[in-house]
Structure 1
Amino acid sequence: MTQPVTAVPAATAATYVFAVCRHADDDVLSRLPGISTAPVRTLPFEQLHAVVQDVPAAEADRQSWTERLSDPDELERCVRAHHQIVTAVATGGPAAPMALATLYSSEERARQALTADAARFHTVLDRVAGRLEWGVKVYVSSASTVTATDRTVAPAHVPTGPQTPGAGRAYLDRVRGTHRAREESRRAALQTAEETDAALRGLAVAARRLRLQDQQLDDCRRTQVLNGAYLVDESQSARFTQAVAAQRRRTGALIELSGPWVPYSFAGEDAAHGDH
């Protein structure tokens, strides 16, 4: 059931910021749930608008939010609500998304901080106007580099009986061969990642390499060798997705494409994070 929209008294309210934009429809925003019971609204500053929501000050300190976001269900709810509002803002024009849980102790404190960063917001909005973010991840299956010899282990003790001539050398040769095969597989995967990134950067106006993350699927671990974000002109989206498909066919690698997204990765490295 949707919670009724109720105002939070200004004297006891902190300000949560979802995004910054040049234009926003307050009627549309007010119908979105957000992360509290107060209405989502705009806060004007320096020919820009911050999309904000009042949050009870008692619930806005760092410890409260750490506890809140440590609950998987609550984290998912907040992420979905945050993304829903950012996406709604972006349908009306370029938007600079703020990080999850960007909180200021008051509306006046939020306005002061955002105003101080106004020049950067104008730059970001110019950069992302008419552009979308695509995510591309390249994986190599760890299982694909494991052969029977990988699972060969040295005996727990050295038998005292007669040994087959050359048995020790053969074992060491198998181990060295396994190590070489694994290293060659890794080099090939890294080369695929670099080639894919280079090919896609040629179609993007900006690109970022994000932190790598492994995934465990059933009993097979996938090792990520590329986690890239690409800012692409809307008019080039079809060419970009075709280029990803071409890389899959050419390399045979496991390449995942996600998006298009609001350009979260290109809102600026020095985005404000609030003052819990």
Structure 2
Amino acid sequence: MNTPIEDTLTYVYAAAPLTTQVRDALADLRGIYGSPVLFVTTAAPTYANLPAPLAFAASHVPCGDFNESALKTHFEDIVWLENVARAHHNVVQALTELTTVLPLRMATVYQDDDRARRALADRHDSFAERITQLAAHTEFGVKMYLVPATPPAEAEPAADTTTDAATTPGKAYLRRRRAQHTEAEARYGHAEEAAAAIEAVASRYASQRVRHPSQSGALTGPAENVLNDAYLVSDEHARQFKAAIEQAATSFDSVRIEVTGPWAPYSFAMPPDEREQQPQGEGHNP
């Protein structure tokens, strides 16, 4: 990236212990727009239980694309969002393969490295404590889709003049609508039963759960997403967790259950008591 440094912002991907292995292995890593991944550190002493001083993994990005007004426009551009999200995720996943990572929210940017450094210093102990709590844990996603039971309704057939007068097209339509409503209620009821069963199974292996809003639109296709949960699972129980969820899913034929992961613990970067109070990676353009 040839943008002059004075025309850039400091984009932060994650916080992580800056071990020699991490520093060496990521020397050639590229992030947003192919920019090098750098490390912003502080003078804070190494936190207990961390293998090395804490650092931000960061890149310099064009101010014209990542200032507040530009981001408002870019967040409506699906292609741009996908490219940035993919680059952000690739950096976080590369770090995750080497150490415990505290992922930050996409588009967490600071005015410059000094501002990022001060932000890291201000929250150093809370970040470090959270990293120690997340050690040897990864995130799994569990999504449930209500699969359409019947194909989309076709156009209304022409009235049959030979049909008994008591069975008019209007009455036939109302009967179909009542039947569809009854079927939908039954399917949602089955989905609630499946969700309860999945949650019971997951709780045997997971230490925390976050319930995300259901997805819609192009992300789900024709199926309706009715459950979108994230679970924090120890590496020791990861295989059992995934196998148990997939086994439980076979008991419910009216829904499709999808297990994804393991991922870096995006949903658990903040402790439970902070998730509702403060956006992750606060401090956009401070």
Quickly say closer, same or farther: Cα 1:155–1:191, change in 2 above 3 A.
farther
The aligned residue for residue 245 of structure 1 is 246
Residue 272 of structure 1 corresponds to: 281
User: Which segments of 5 or more consecutive residues in structure 1 lack a partner in the other structure?
Assistant: none
Among 111, 119, 130, the residue aligned to 2:136: 130
Give the distance between the partners of 2:284 and 2:172, measured in 1 at CA.
Answer: 64
Cα distance, 1:189 vs structure 2:
1.4
Contact 2:30 2:36 in 1 (8 A): yes
Pair 1:31–1:168, CA change in 2 (3 A): closer
Residue 26 of structure 2 aligns with which residue? 29
Paired letter, 2:197: E
Residue 171 of structure 1, CA deviation: 6.9
Q: In the TM superposition, what whole-angstrom CA distance separates every residue of 1:173-197 from its partner, at most 9, and x where no partner exists?
A: 6544442222122111122122212
**Aligned match for 1:196, one of 178, 195, 198:** 198
- Report SS of the residue matched to 1:16: strand
Q: CA deviation at 1:119?
A: 3.0
* Cα distance between partner residues in 1 of 2:56 and 2:110: 12
Q: CA deviation at 1:55?
A: 2.6
Conserved? CA contact 1:7–1:39, under 8 Å: no
2:166 corresponds in structure 1 to 164
Match of 2:49 in 1: none
1:83 Cα deviation from its structure 2 partner: 1.2
Which residue of structure 1 aligns with residue 110 of structure 2?
A: 104
Partner in structure 1 of residue 235 of structure 2? 234
Report the secondary structure of 1:191's partner residue: helix
Q: TM-score, normalising length from structure 1?
A: 0.81
* 1:190 and 1:225 in contact (8 A); partners too: no
Q: 1:164 to 1:18 in 2, by over 3 A?
A: closer
- CA-to-partner distance for each residue in 1:140-180, whole Å, 9 max, x for gaps? 113x0679xx7697999xx9x98338998887565444422
Name the TM-score, length of structure 2 as normaliser: 0.78
Match of 1:87 in 2: 93
Inter-CA distance 77–216: structure 2 relative to 1 (3 Å threshold): closer
Classify 1:108/1:168 alpha carbon distance in 2 versus 1 (closer, same or farther; 3 Å).
closer
Return the offset for 1:228: 1.0
Query: Who is 2:262 aligned against?
Result: 260
Aligned to 1:42, the other structure's residue is in SS state strand
Asked if 1:17 corresponds to 2:26, the answer is: no
Q: Residues of 2 paired with 1:23 and 1:49: CA distance?
A: 6
CA distance in structure 2 between the aligned counterparts of 1:169 and 1:97, rounded to whole angstroms: 57
Q: 1:55 to 1:171 in 2, by over 3 A?
A: closer
Give the match for residue 221 of structure 1.
222
The secondary structure found in structure 2 opposite 1:238 is helix
Partner of 1:211: 213
**Superposed displacement of residue 215, structure 1:** 5.3
Larger radius of gyration: 1
RMSD value over aligned CA atoms?
A: 3.3
Query: 2:50 matched to which residue of 1?
Result: none
Q: How big is each residue's C-alpha offset from its partner over 1:84-139, in whole Å with a ceiling of 9 and x where there is no partner?
A: 11112112211011111110012121122222222321232122110111111111
Once residues 67 and 168 of structure 1 are traced to their aligned partners in structure 2, the CA distance between those partners, rounded to angstroms, is: 48
- Identical counterparts, % of pairs: 29
Q: 1:26 to 1:193 in 2, by over 3 A?
A: same
- Whether contact under 8 Å (1:29, 1:40) holds in the other structure is yes
Does structure 1 conserve the Cα–Cα contact (< 8 Å) formed by 2:10 and 2:116? yes
Q: Which runs of 5+ in 2 are unaligned?
A: 47-53
SS at match of 1:20: strand
